[in-house]
Structure 1
């Protein structure tokens, strides 16, 4: 399949991740004018001035997260819901939070249509995580912060992994993987990326 071949050529080689992405039709998450470009490896605009990330980046982030079948995952930045839908095929439970109520409402409708019953979509300020559901085995942040947010680090289980872009919003950012150990946190730089900035507070 062309789509999977394109993903593999960009470095997405994990069989479970490729299967989850094959099960998740990106066209369902792209509306309007850009729907016909859903299978291209490029970011596309969605509502509320946000974007749906390009599939290869989604695949690489998901692969870096190394989600296990029993994991409880937090995603910060629901957006279109595409990333959460992929995670739902890999994890036991996915919590996804977004500052735009409209995006969360649209994503919930899609999750219901696709019968993805292990996703809970919440509108809220994702920079503070979801303390009432912590700790999480995995945390994925789909917006760039200058540094990994303290509240999110605190909600990561020992042995847990967080993947997020860091850097100033107007320069190249780095995708990093943070692993929580008994002693603290290990940081690993993965690749340059470009994401919308992580903003505190609620959107319109």
Structure 2
């Protein structure tokens, strides 16, 4: 049985996948180069931890490709003083990356088993500033306001309440649209955090699994 050199695989992931996709932020590259992605992958998929693939999780969820994770982190430009809300904890890997970049992370996960596993993985990596909450982000309420919101699954439309959770001048990363022609966007909130009042910057085209409950209604053809 071949033993994988995870440190080498991590280095190659950064240099051959992430950096060529215009991820050049040194803080983001450092986190991706240091954090052991294999520690957030199920045993059955550990040999694919650094592959250019979206890895399956339970409940039909997926772990983003490394390049997508890199672009997501870079687009949010998280500062060490930022409070971040993550919608969709999944494996916990992106949660950990955000934890290394931000002051505090609150991560919402609809599936209790994924949330529990992510908590264990974060604790094992001593990511102590990330809290995983069992919650459905489409039916969640909070009085907190965040500097950045990171959405790890696609939506057909951006829920208005998410923008209410942004601090003035905050930003939200999300993939929206109808599969397979989706776009990743960065919504920059102003004083009035509404979709039609905010700057929406198109970042790149992609295709991503929908958050549970966020897929568009089926289109009927006659």
Q: Into which bin does the TM-score normalised by the smaller protein fall?
A: over 0.9
Instruction: Note the alpha carbon deviations across 1:119-144, whole angstroms, 9 max, x for none.
Output: 00011111245514x20000010111
By relative contact order (CA 8 Å, sep 6+), the higher-ranking structure is 1
Question: Which 4+ residue blocks in structure 1 deviate beyond 3 angstroms?
Answer: none
Name the SS of the counterpart of 1:80 in structure 2. coil
Displacement after TM superposition at 1:171 (Å): 2.5
Displacement after TM superposition at 1:25 (Å): 1.1
Which shifted more, 134-143 or 183-192? 183-192
Partner of 1:4: 14
Partner of 1:111: 122
Equivalent pair of 1:76/1:127 in contact (CA under 8 Å) = no
Partner of 2:188: 179
Q: What is the Cα-based RMSD across aligned positions, in Å?
A: 1.5
Aligned 1:36-185 pairs, distance under 5 A: 36-132=47-143, 134-168=144-178, 170-182=179-191, 184-185=197-198
Name the SS of the counterpart of 2:13 in structure 1. helix
Which shifted more, 113-122 or 31-40? 31-40
Question: Partners in 2 of 1:121 and 1:23 — Cα distance?
Answer: 22
Partner of 1:197: 210
Equivalent pair of 1:99/1:126 in contact (CA under 8 Å) = yes
What TM-score comes out, normalization by structure 2 length? 0.86
Query: Which residue of the other structure, out of 34, 49, 53, is the alignment partner of 1:23?
Result: 34
What TM-score comes out, normalization by structure 1 length? 0.93
| Unmatched segments (≥5 aa) in structure 2 | 1-10, 215-222
Larger Rg: 1 or 2? 2
Question: Partners in 2 of 1:37 and 1:4 — Cα distance?
Answer: 15
Instruction: Note the alpha carbon deviations across 1:2-52, whole angstroms, 9 max, x for none.
Output: 122021111111000011112211111111322101111211112222111
Question: Partners in 1 of 2:101 and 2:140 — Cα distance?
Answer: 21
Instruction: Note the alpha carbon deviations across 1:81-107, whole angstroms, 9 max, x for none.
Output: 010000011000000011100000000
